[in-house]
Structure 1
Amino acid sequence: MPGDAVRASLRTQRSEEEKIVATTVPLVRVAAVPSAHPYVTAVADPAGVRLLADPPPPGVPAGQWWPPQVLLPEWLEAHAAEFDLVHVHFGIESYTADELALTVAALERLGKPLVYTVHDLENPQLSSQDAHRAGLAVLAHAADELITLTASAADEVAAITGRTATVVAHPTLLGEAERPAGTAHDTVRVGVHLRDLRPNIDGVATTATLVRAIADLRAQGARIEGVVRMNERVRDEEAAASIVLLAEGCDGVRIERGPRQDDDELAAWLADLDACLLPYRHGTQSGWAELCYDLAVPVVGTRVGHMAAQHPTDFHTFDLGEPLSLERAVIDATSPAWSVPGSRRRTAEIERRRTERLRELEHVRHAHVEVYRRVLARELAA
Structure 2
Amino acid sequence: MIRVASVPADHPYVAHLSPSGETPGDGCDEVIRLPDPPVIADDGLTRWWPPRILDPAWLREHAGEFDVLHVHFGFESFSPEHLREVVDVAHELGKGVVVTVHDLRNPHIKDPAAQLSRLDALVPAADAVITLTQGAADAIQARWGRDAVVVRHPHIVPLDVMAALLLDDTSSRTNRADARSSDDSTAAPARNDRRRIGLHLKSLRTNVDAAGALDALALVADERPDVEIVVTMHRAVADPTDRGHDACVVERAEALAARGAITLVLHEPMDDATLFAFVGGLDVSVMANVWGTHSGWIEMCHDLGVRVVAPNIGFYGEQHAPVLYDLAGRGDEAEDGAAQDGAAASEDATVDARRLADTILVAVDQGRTAPADVAERRDERDAGARVHSEIYRASIPTRRSDVAPARL
Shorter-chain TM range is 0.7 to 0.9
- Take 2:104 and 2:248, find their aligned partners in 1: how far apart are those partners? 26
Cα distance, 1:355 vs structure 2: 2.2
Aligned twin of 2:35: 53
- Take 1:370 and 1:380, find their aligned partners in 2: how far apart are those partners? 10
Note closer, same or farther for the CA distance 1:71–1:321 as it changes in structure 2 (3 Å cut): closer
- Take 2:133 and 2:15, find their aligned partners in 1: how far apart are those partners? 20
Q: Which moved more, 1:319-328 or 1:84-93?
A: 319-328
Note closer, same or farther for the CA distance 1:58–1:64 as it changes in structure 2 (3 Å cut): closer
1:28 aligns with 2:2: yes
Report the AA paired with residue 194 of structure 1. Answer: L
User: Aligned to 2:267, which of 245, 252, 258?
Assistant: 258
Q: Residues 212-251 of structure 1 correspond to what in structure 2 (within 5 A)?
A: 212-218=219-225, 223-234=226-237, 235-251=244-260
Q: Which moved more, 1:362-371 or 1:121-130?
A: 121-130
Q: Residues 82-161 of structure 1 correspond to what in structure 2 (within 5 A)?
A: 82-161=65-144
User: Aligned to 1:295, which of 293, 304, 327?
Assistant: 304
Cα distance, 1:241 vs structure 2: 2.4
- Take 2:326 and 2:81, find their aligned partners in 1: how far apart are those partners? 39
CA contact (8 A) 1:316 1:332 kept: no
Gaps of 5+ in 2: 20-27, 175-190, 238-243, 328-349, 403-408
CA contact (8 A) 1:54 1:65 kept: yes
Q: Report how many aligned residue pairs link the two structures.
A: 341
Aligned twin of 2:12: 38
1:186 aligns with 2:193: yes
* Identical pairs, percent: 33
More helix by share: 1
- Taking structure 2 as the reference length, the TM-score comes to 0.78
CA contact (8 A) 1:203 1:239 kept: no
- Taking structure 1 as the reference length, the TM-score comes to 0.83
Cα distance, 1:59 vs structure 2: 6.1
Cα distance, 1:240 vs structure 2: 3.6
Note closer, same or farther for the CA distance 1:245–1:160 as it changes in structure 2 (3 Å cut): farther
1:330 aligns with 2:360: yes
CA deviation profile, 1:143-192 (whole Å, cap 9, x unmatched): 11111111111112222222111100001123322245422522121111
- Take 1:321 and 1:286, find their aligned partners in 2: how far apart are those partners? 17
- Take 1:191 and 1:104, find their aligned partners in 2: how far apart are those partners? 42
CA contact (8 A) 2:91 2:97 kept: no
- Take 2:79 and 2:285, find their aligned partners in 1: how far apart are those partners? 35
Note closer, same or farther for the CA distance 1:131–1:331 as it changes in structure 2 (3 Å cut): closer
- Take 2:245 and 2:116, find their aligned partners in 1: how far apart are those partners? 25
Aligned twin of 2:182: none
CA deviation profile, 1:289-344 (whole Å, cap 9, x unmatched): 001001111100111211121111x43435454344334322332335x44xxxxx
Q: Which moved more, 1:85-94 or 1:198-207?
A: 198-207
CA contact (8 A) 2:95 2:397 kept: no
Aligned twin of 1:64: 47
The 3-state SS of whatever aligns with 1:190 is: strand
User: Aligned to 1:366, which of 372, 376, 386?
Assistant: 386
The 3-state SS of whatever aligns with 2:155 is: coil
Note closer, same or farther for the CA distance 1:263–1:52 as it changes in structure 2 (3 Å cut): same
Cα distance, 1:239 vs structure 2: 4.3
Aligned twin of 2:334: none
